[in-house]
Amino acid sequence: MSNPTETLDALGLLCPLPVLKARKRLKSMPAGAVLRVLADDPAAIVDVPHFCVESGHHLVCQKDADGHQIYLIQKSG
């Protein structure tokens, strides 16, 4: 399992903000770095994996936590 390089707390944000903030954060990270995204927007379950496919980043894992989801996204490059 890849260790996250940075964490993006998107709790309380609604679509499309979690994905927009993840995109912005990933731009400043080196290739291969892993971003952990915390989100509680139900749309994120669809939006985050779709964003990864469209942008070429690797969705390392997606899991449910206490009232939110955790996504690990590895930056392509």
61: domain CATH number is 3.30.110.40
pTM: 0.95
- Provide mean pLDDT across the span 3-10: 95
pLDDT at 77 over 80: yes
Predicted pLDDT at 3: 86
Look up residue 71 and give its two tokens: 């996504």
Residue of 2, 4, 11, 15 marked active site: 15
Within-domain flag for 30: yes
Predicted pLDDT at 21: 98
| Of the listed ranges 1-10, 12-21, 34-43, 58-67, the one predicted with least confidence | 1-10
In the chain, how long is the greatest CA-to-CA distance? 32
What separation in angstroms does the CA of 60 have from each of 14, 56, 71?
A: 22, 12, 8
Instruction: Report the number of distinct structural domains present in the chain.
Output: 1
- Provide mean pLDDT across the span 8-30: 97
- Whether 52 is catalytic is no
Range of the domain at 15: 6-74
**What digits encode the pLDDT tens for the residues 31-50?**
999 999 999 999 999 999 99
Within-domain flag for 16: yes
